[in-house]
Chains A and B, each alone.
Chain A
């Protein structure tokens, strides 16, 4: 089947085990264009694994994933081509350590999208400007703060013009005073209409920006709904307990 036009991401009955441990137990999820979906849940429930199974950085054992009309779980799919348009931001930034901020953003433009050097350079500077780092373009990752690194990483993904952005705990490795600058960039992105799927414990961000909160536990989606409903009046006692705990912390 081909999903309808405004569905950007469709996940169907996804399973993944590591050894005997079943991390994903048949997860299904649809994300439509412009949605900002927050994935929350206790650690070890498979949230990160779910993200990685979307762009096939981790190969799921069973189930299917579409981004727009391309089935990524199809063995015939050109996965490198598909990944160009699925942005991913990591907890540990994973900037290319040997390259300046500018070259980090340029690398994909030049080698993956095969853009002309001048046009690529202009585009890369524009993306750094978008995350507020146009004056740091010559800095190496080792010369940037954690918040700046993460913003470069976001710029690197955005440069590829993704149809969806996956965020895997983008602020979990940051000092508290650096979290804000990254969330501001993510919020702007959401307001511009970017489709986002985001694993985070930042409940304030979820409340302000998201269109839906998905609560996962033990490898499956337990409850989901609009932030108002999930944060203020969840159907399940378990959801209330968990959100209560992380709200105390943030």
Chain B
């Protein structure tokens, strides 16, 4: 009983933050990642090399280390709350991975699509927006679903900046109720599982919904 009166409300407060951090990281990550991918595929070679390096560096470092580095970098320049600093750090990390997903999806659209679009007088920008991207999105969903699952779990990393997301809340709870530390962590595990499961199911449904009839 005590679980329902104290543990659940405790975790729900953290759940709000977990969902917000995840949404910010995935959302900003998608926008940044898409821009990076477009610049990498269609930009000039120098820009493309810079972005390749950027993506390569981020992909080679542990997320928790990057979170600390970016946090202290951001904290020096602007005065951001740990919540925003953590969320934006995760967004920057995710943008590197998402740019790879978008790049792969763009490259999987046959070159003839761009050529046909240009041949009827579309500008490159129009062709990218109306022809390439709508097809790339369909190729993107399965790998993006994977990235979403990773970001949901990575949202727990903002815990090291003191942001009270569900894992942090569970730890508080366990500290105050040292006899049953297991309950809180098990509840958190169930929450992560449900979040990831529902997200992947939702994206599967979206993939089927926008599949091109053949």
A and B part of one assembly: yes
- Chain A positions 78-122 with a Cβ under 8 Å from a chain B Cβ: 80-88, 90, 92, 94-98, 107-108, 111-112
Query: Could you tell me the dominant secondary structure of chain B's interface residues?
Result: helix
Chain A residues in the interface with B (C-beta under 8 A): 55, 57, 80-88, 90, 92, 94-98, 107-108, 111-112, 140, 142-143, 153, 156-157, 160
Contacts A80-B122, A90-B112 known; list 4 others, CB within 8 Å.
A57-B118, A84-B120, A97-B135, A98-B135
B40-48, B126-134, B159-167: which one contacts chain A?
B126-134
Are A94 and B118 neighbours in the complex by a CB distance under 8 Å? no
Complex Cα spacing A54 to B75, Å: 56
A94 to B109, alpha carbons, bound, how many Å? 11
B201 CB to closest chain A CB, in angstroms?
Answer: 24
B199 to chain A, nearest CB (A): 24
Tell which of A87, A92, A96 has the most Cβ of chain B within 10 Å: A96
Least distance between B131 CB and chain A CB atoms (Å):
6
Within 8 A of A (CB), among B118-146: 118-123, 126, 130-131, 134-135, 138
| Nearest CB of chain B from residue A167's CB, rounded to whole Å | 12
What are the residues of chain B within 8 A of A160 when measuring CB–CB? Answer: 120-121
- Indicate if B113 sits at the interface (CB-CB under 8 A): yes
Which residues of B lie under 8 Å from residue A82 when comparing CB positions?
Answer: 121
Q: Which residue of B lies closest to A104 (CB)?
A: B116
Which single residue of chain A is at the shortest CB-CB distance from B119?
A: A88
Contact of B118 among A83, A85, A156 (CB under 8 A): A83
Q: By the criterion of a CB under 8 Å from any partner CB, how many residues of chain B are at the interface?
A: 21
CA distance in complex: A85, B138 (Å)? 32
Cβ–Cβ contact A157 & B138, under 8 A: no
In whole angstroms, how far apart are the Cα atoms of A81 and B112 in the complex?
20
B116, A95: Cβ atoms under 8 Å?
A: yes
Known: A55-B119, A142-B212, A156-B120. A111 touches B126 (CB 8 A): yes
- B123 cross-chain contacts in A, Cβ below 8 A: 80
Chain A residue contacts of B80, Cβ below 8 A: none
Question: Which of A57, A98, A111 has its CB near the most chain B CB atoms (within 10 A)?
Answer: A98
Contacts of B130 in A (CB 8 A): 107, 111
**In the docked arrangement, what's the CA distance between A157 and B126, Å?**
17
With A and B bound together, what is the CA distance between A157 and B118 in angstroms? 12
Select from chain A the residue with minimum beta-carbon distance to B214. A142
Report the bound CA distance from A1 to B119 in whole Å: 26
- A85–B121 Cα gap in the complex (Å)? 8
- State whether A142 touches B213 (Cβ < 8 A): yes
